[in-house]
Structures are given as structure tokens and as C-alpha cells.
Structure 1
Amino acid sequence: MATTTESQSATEGTTRQDDQSRQGEIFDLLSNRRRRYAIHYCKREGEPVTLGDLAEHVAAWELDKEVEEITAAERKRVYTSLQQTHVPTLERADVIEFDDRTIELTSEATELDVYLDIVPADTIPWSTYYLGLTGVGTIVMAGVWLEAVPTEVIPELGWATLVFALFAVSAVVHDVQTRRMRLGELERPP
């Protein structure tokens, strides 16, 4: 009996370690802007892409230019970097398949969305927003319980409905923004 428990414990420890190792690999993979741009372009296209097309778009995004404005030297620099470093890294991570002509996302690429909670520079993180909303809701509900909030104008159930509605509207806005900010959703990478 002790052997079975030890075996299960060892298996769970190995699985947890493998999950942490994979998570670290994914964060390392996504830590590079050029690889994120490559994934974005492949997702946006939705079909196999050539290394040349990928290099043009990544160079354009990096230099904040239109694809037509990219010089041969700028394209070549990005092409070489993608070919020698980034595409092999993405392939080893099983995110893409590369056959020397085309690049195609694998099913593993869908796993990356979980790690990409992109927060634009001019906004606060959603976790902070919900914490603040919880504070407001707590103050309102405490006011209702302590009869410090006028319940003649808005009944107690009305206050509770208002707090619930704030959370519901926030959740919808959060979901819409999160979907919009995913790699492959917009013309330019977020």
C-alpha cells in the first residue's frame, strides 16, 4: 500500500514539474517580441505562410512602417533572424511546423492565449479594476445593511441588483477587450 502511495506521489510531482517546465518554456517563448509577432501573423492569416511574407510583416510592425515601405536590407535582417533563431525555437516548442517553404501553426498554438493577457499602457489591469469594483460593492452593501444608504429611493434589492449589474457589465467589457487583444485578432499585433 505504501508503495502505491509513493508511486502516485512521485507521478504527481513529475507531472507538476513537467507542467511548470512547459509553462516556463511558454513564457520564454513569448518573451520575445519577434516571436509574438510571428505567432500573430500566422494566427491572423489562418493558413500556412511563407517565411518571406512573415519577415516582411514582422519588419513592418517592428519599424512601424507599411509592408511596401520596407527596404530589402530591413527585410533581410528580419528574415535571417527568423530563419536562424525564432522559427526553429517556435518549431522546437511545437507551436509551428516549418518545411523550408511554409510555416503553419500547430494545435499547441491555441494553448498560448492563456498566457497572453495583454494590458494596454493606458489602462489598469483587470484584476485591479475588479478589486476596486469589489470595494465599491462592499461599501454599498455595508451601507444597505447598516441603513446608511437611502432605501426609500432605491430598495435593498435594487442596490444589490445595481452592484450585480456593475459586475456583469464589467465582465462583458472585459471579455470583449480580451478577445480583441488576442494575437491574430487585429491587423497589427497588440
Structure 2
Amino acid sequence: MAKRDRSDRILTDWDRVFDALADPSRRYVLEYLHDRSEPASVWDLAVALAVRTTDLPPDEVDLQVVEQAEVGIVHVHLPKLQAADLVESAGDGVSLTEHAETLPLFTPAYRGVVRPVGDEEERREL
């Protein structure tokens, strides 16, 4: 019976990871955190997400758009990412967990999981 319990737990863990990865905003949060050496504040995440969704420079994004992104991050995205053990909050900062770093999300072969392949090509052109 112990093997079955362990298998069920592993499947539940993967279900949470897949659920977390199902949303492009959450994948972007993971990418953003992976590309940083320090934890990010929720406000930094909100600004980055607002910039990404509006295609405007940070100083041109409407404050209401950033605040709306912040609400989504706090109430939807971070809880799902935390439930999947992909991010952790410490004080004012959010960072990837060790568990997230061990998943193949950020390896070259799997980079498309968190960053669509087209994004890589667009960044090279810039």
C-alpha cells in the first residue's frame, strides 16, 4: 500500500505543476524569477507582467494595469505556483524553490515550457 500512496502523491504533485504551468502569466513569472539572481518583490513582478501584456515600456504602463496585475499575482498566480512548490515568499521577496530549479523547465531542451520558442527568436532580433 505504501507504493500506491507514494505514486498517488507524485501524480498529485505533477498535477499541481501542470496546473501552475497552464497559464502564460505564471510561466512568465517563473521565467522572470529564473532570470534574476535576487528575489523579486510582488510589485516588480506586477510591473514586469504589465509590461509584457501591454507591450509598453515600464514608464508608460498605466498604474491601474500594474495594480490589476498585482492583484492577479497575489490572489491567483502565486498561490498556484506555491501549491506546486515552484516559488516561495520570504519577507518581501519571491523566488524559485529548489524544487523548481530541479525540474527540466529551464534546460535548453525544455526552455519552451516557460518561454515559447518564438520569444527566443524575437529577443535575438532585438
The TM tier, using the shorter chain, reads 0.7 to 0.9
Residue equivalent to 1:75: 66
Q: 1:182, 1:30 → 2: CA distance?
A: 8
Q: Deviations over 1:71-120 (max 9, x none)?
A: 10110110111112211222232222213511111101124435x8xxxx
Tell me by how many angstroms 1:35 deviates: 1.0
Residue equivalent to 1:40: 31
SS in 2 for 1:83: helix
Q: Judge conservation of contact 1:37–1:189 (CA < 8 Å) in 2.
A: no
Q: 1:180, 1:30 → 2: CA distance?
A: 13
1:29 to 1, 6, 20: 20
Structure-1-length-normalised TM-score: 0.54
- Give, as a single letter, the amino acid of the residue that structure 2 aligns with 1:45: R
Q: 1:19, 1:179 → 2: CA distance?
A: 20
SS in 1 for 2:94: strand
Structure 1 outlier segments of 4+, above 6 Å = none
Q: 1:63, 1:75 → 2: CA distance?
A: 10
SS in 1 for 2:35: helix
Q: Which has the higher contact order (CA 8 A, sep 6+)?
A: 2
- Asked if residue 110 in structure 1 is aligned to residue 110 in structure 2, the reply is no
RMSD between aligned alpha carbons?
2.8
Q: 1:88, 1:17 → 2: CA distance?
A: 22
CA spacing shift, 1:66–1:181, aligned 2, 3 Å: farther
Q: 2:70, 2:7 → 1: CA distance?
A: 37
The count of aligned residue pairs is 119
Q: 2:91, 2:120 → 1: CA distance?
A: 25
Q: Judge conservation of contact 1:43–1:183 (CA < 8 Å) in 2.
A: no
Tell me by how many angstroms 1:30 deviates: 0.5
* Structure 1 unmatched runs, 5+: 1-9, 117-174
2:42 to 36, 39, 51: 51
CA spacing shift, 1:86–1:180, aligned 2, 3 Å: closer
Match runs of 1:153-172 below 5 Å: none
Q: Judge conservation of contact 2:50–2:61 (CA < 8 Å) in 1.
A: yes
Structure-2-length-normalised TM-score: 0.78
Q: Deviations over 1:6-29 (max 9, x none)?
A: xxxx22222221111111111101
